[in-house]
Amino acid sequence: MSECTNMKRIGVLTGGGDCPGLNAVIRAVTKSAIAEHGLEVLGIEDGFLGLIENRIRPLRFSDVSNILDQGGTILGTSNKADPARFCVGQDRKGSPIFEDVSDRAVGHARDRGLDVLVCIGGDGTMSGASRLVGHGLSVVGVPKTIDNDLMHTDVTFGFDTAVSTATEALDRIRTTASSHHRVMLVEMMGRNAGWLTLHAGAAGGADVILIPEIGYDVEKLCARCVDRSRHHKAYTLVAVSEGAKPAGGEVVVDRVVHESPDPIRLGGVSEVLSEQISEGTQLESRATILGHVQRGGRPTAHDRVLATQFGHHAVEMIMRGELNRMVAMQGGRLTTVSITEVADRQRLVPLDDPLLTASRAMGVSMGD
């Protein structure tokens, strides 16, 4: 496609949970747009919430300098604001009242003269962006999530950093597990996808890896722990995804955030399993939930590079007129996919994944 010479002003927002590498994308988008194409760049504060509330400010070259290695996002973010289902209050019973404020959000973008909006986020953000397309707003998506669960891209930025953080936690917990001869469970994020737990578990040498895609059997898990104890293995290290569940059973829900577009918050399965293992084996067991520590901190070099590539490619897509699509990495090459193909879908770990196969071959239990 030829360059779109009518592009003058673009917006950028970061939606959903925070993630290492967000600032690297903001930097790449802003600097590429200004330096290479002479575009104006506006930053939307706190994701779609800022678009709904018209909190939009200019981003200059100096605003994005020296943020490459910073975690979090200088624009702020929100995982509760979906223009198509926005909580505007509560009824008399305390239940949230939702309204579709998409036209308001799009109106604010038009009032600011935005030709296109760069939406940096995960599946929730892509789903929200896809719905805004239906209201006449042009968008370009950049895939972000520590869960690595977006469709049609082999990898998302933030994943490598989260894997490194979780792996370091496993390394540290292994020493106390060995010292006290315990079964130690480390619970990781990922929702219904096991990518983070599988990769961190493999990198950290976990003896058991429990992911949502494979239902576990508590009796078999207990038997593995007892067998290791009897054969002079002084401890068992278990990497468990927050979305792991027993075969035929349900996930453990930590809480429900009713005003959120994605109200179910998982968490606590490691604590449930720790009690079951202690009762079933008479071995001492402890659970550690990593939680938001996995989202924080400085991005790895890999994520900085990937985020920079994604951000620059997003601007190139805009200038080619390749709109309403998301940047993707497929087979080591940058490409684009329709944002509607990503919306409201989740990429799960296939049962023939090579790392899953390799882990099984080395004697790692998947709990089944």
The single residue of 82, 115, 123, 147 carrying the catalytic annotation is 147
The verdict on 174 and 103 lying in the same domain is: no
| 32-41 core/surface letters (b: 16 or more CB in 10 A; e: else) | bbbeebebbb
Position 237 in a domain: yes
Its pTM stands at 0.93
**Total domains, the chain:** 2
Phi and psi at residue 64, to the nearest 5°: -110, 10
| 327-340 core/surface letters (b: 16 or more CB in 10 A; e: else) | bbbeeeebebbebb
Instruction: Tell me the CATH number at 124.
Output: 3.40.50.450
Query: 124 pLDDT exceeds 70?
Result: yes
Query: 75 pLDDT exceeds 50?
Result: yes
Q: Is 264 helix (H, G, I), strand (E, B) or coil?
A: strand
d(CA 157, CA 40): 25
The verdict on 287 and 321 lying in the same domain is: no
The verdict on 66 and 80 lying in the same domain is: yes
The verdict on 43 and 126 lying in the same domain is: yes
The verdict on 216 and 150 lying in the same domain is: no
The verdict on 18 and 134 lying in the same domain is: yes
Neighbours of 215 (CB within 10 A): 16
pLDDT value, residue 200: 98
Do 67 and 80 meet the contact criterion of CB atoms below 8 Å apart? no
Position 193 in a domain: yes
pLDDT value, residue 3: 62
The verdict on 166 and 187 lying in the same domain is: yes
Neighbours of 351 (CB within 10 A): 10
Position 355 in a domain: no
Query: 263 pLDDT exceeds 90?
Result: no
What is the overall mean pLDDT for the chain?
94
Do 140 and 170 meet the contact criterion of CB atoms below 8 Å apart? no
- For the chain, the residue count is 368
Give residue 260's pLDDT band: very low, low, confident or very high (50, 70, 90): confident
Q: In this structure, what DSSP letter does residue 172 have? A: H
Instruction: Tell me the CATH number at 243.
Output: 3.40.50.460
Span 120-146, average pLDDT: 95
The verdict on 72 and 146 lying in the same domain is: yes
Q: Is 89 helix (H, G, I), strand (E, B) or coil?
A: strand
Task: Extract the tokens encoding 25.
Answer: 């994308």
Position 2 in a domain: no
Structural domain containing residue 191:
162-295
Q: Is 107 helix (H, G, I), strand (E, B) or coil?
A: helix
The verdict on 48 and 148 lying in the same domain is: yes
pLDDT tens digits for range 141-156: 999 999 999 999 999 9
Catalytic annotation present for 344: no
| 78-100 core/surface letters (b: 16 or more CB in 10 A; e: else) | bbbbbbbbbbeeeeeeeebebee
The verdict on 145 and 248 lying in the same domain is: no
The verdict on 59 and 129 lying in the same domain is: yes
pLDDT tens digits for range 158-181: 999 999 999 999 999 999 998 889
pLDDT value, residue 1: 44
